[in-house]
Structure 1
């Protein structure tokens, strides 16, 4: 999807002016051959013209992005798609409660008889003009993220104690993602939040879920793609209303379940593995099983849902 990504965005109706500027960006910032393999080829597209335009406009303006929203809203899919569209190498930087400055910037290591810096993902992205995805940024401790303040504001530098002061490559962008309400999350430090432009990711519409499933499995019959999309939407509504937790709201699990159906496993059994069993509470499992049963009979064979 490196070249195809722009064709996809044109088909989605994204502003031609923005896409021309993205193309100019790609031509101006040449990609080092050593980093070419890091330019992602997204497995799934993100559907949503307005979100695409907002995100592209922010990155073209030299800003960093913070994508917030509920589970299965496509934050990481969009981040990967942006790196592909801009033709930049991508570093996925998973943050967690014990993440520290050394894991982000780099640590000392002994090599060739001397102490050298083993560069972390933030530093590597900064030096080569990459896109760094700060995944679940509100899980890391605020004090460990303080090292990013100078990198994310107008200074665009990383000061490494005992080493050089590194200026960010002009093409470097950081994209943070975050969910609210997950165990281990915390309020994002105001000083850090002010360094991002924020996009509130909308819920994926039922029609776009259907498009996603048909794009992944072209032989899936449209009437069954509609059933799966409607099932996912029903699970989302029950999760939002507090009837169940968000464990079963797993689009990856549903896509994987359809993949098992393509290999012959019955739809109900596949959905049990990919969706229902994500709930560890028996009451929730029963509720989600009832939703599946209301749309797909136990006797339905996998062969019937594919053309």
Structure 2
């Protein structure tokens, strides 16, 4: 990851700070398996430098942005860059204290606390990704206040007061406008440094495609990038919904094409069929056919 950061021209001073962080905060061997090896790299120099600086200063992060802005990819990249074990904590309307911190259970004839992901992350100095934090009820995540502010403790009734390891950081993600989401209360937001994640630029999307598909011909790198941006623009103009503006779907479709599936069928599975409105599907198909010919062969897209 550090070589990648140098390629992205991240400040050498910040890279040196990351190396110091890695050397100073040792990882418990029992959880080394949790240090991620990212499938995708996040491209964006300014966002990287903002996040690295905040983490070094002991801050927690809230990544806010639209669909396909790479929030979870970036959170995983940060964990890998700092060499920290990662806990993914998905929030929903039924998220409560026990699902985050832990609950009573029997072990060897005694009642003990079965540790939840927040507890483990805090006690072992990991990075906790609080995914879609605005899907949980405010009252259920109020318990995070003491975890995220200057106190940095978990006070568990009937058990103990657990201080967070100095290396522990929490990275929350959220989208606006999804079904089931709600506004975060001010008290919670004030405990984060907030990064507004931009949608991926054409230049960075081409970098991603070249990394993922090194044998793709340059003209099709440009066409698939243009296809994604065309769909994005249609969505911004309210001509289609955001359902088909799906970067994961695009990458998966290209993988299917690389394996020999006809391009039109692969893109139908990965992009077109994400919409369930017939009129919208026709618009999406028209956008695709302007960029990717319906009968294009794999050999025209890939060099070998």
TM-score, normalised by the number of residues in structure 2: 0.99
User: Of residues 218, 222, 235 in structure 2, which corresponds to 1:222?
Assistant: 218
Matches for 1:76-95 after TM superposition, within 5 Å: 76-95=72-91
Give 5+ residue unaligned stretches, structure 2.
none
- Where does structure 1 differ by over 3 angstroms across 4 or more consecutive aligned residues? none
User: Of residues 160, 163, 171 in structure 2, which corresponds to 1:164?
Assistant: 160
Give 5+ residue unaligned stretches, structure 1.
none
Residue 304 of structure 1, CA deviation: 1.6
Q: 1:254–1:274: 8 Å Cα contact kept in structure 2? A: yes
Residue 206 of structure 1, CA deviation: 1.1
Q: 1:267–1:300: 8 Å Cα contact kept in structure 2? A: yes
Asked if residue 212 in structure 1 is aligned to residue 208 in structure 2, the reply is: yes
State the number of aligned residues.
303
Residue 208 of structure 1, CA deviation: 1.0
Q: Aligned residue for 1:115?
A: 111
Q: 1:264–1:303: 8 Å Cα contact kept in structure 2? A: no
Q: Aligned residue for 1:124?
A: 120
Please give the root-mean-square deviation of Cα atoms over the aligned residues, in Å.
0.7
Matches for 1:1-307 after TM superposition, within 5 Å: 5-307=1-303
Deviates more, 1:31-40 or 1:297-306: 297-306
Q: 1:244–1:284: 8 Å Cα contact kept in structure 2? A: yes
Residue 116 of structure 1, CA deviation: 1.0
Alpha-carbon separation, structure 1, partners of 2:219 and 2:293: 14
Q: 1:129–1:170: 8 Å Cα contact kept in structure 2? A: yes
Q: 1:257–1:273: 8 Å Cα contact kept in structure 2? A: yes
Alpha-carbon separation, structure 2, partners of 1:237 and 1:259: 24
**Secondary structure in structure 2 of the residue aligned to 1:192:** helix
TM-score, normalised by the number of residues in structure 1: 0.98
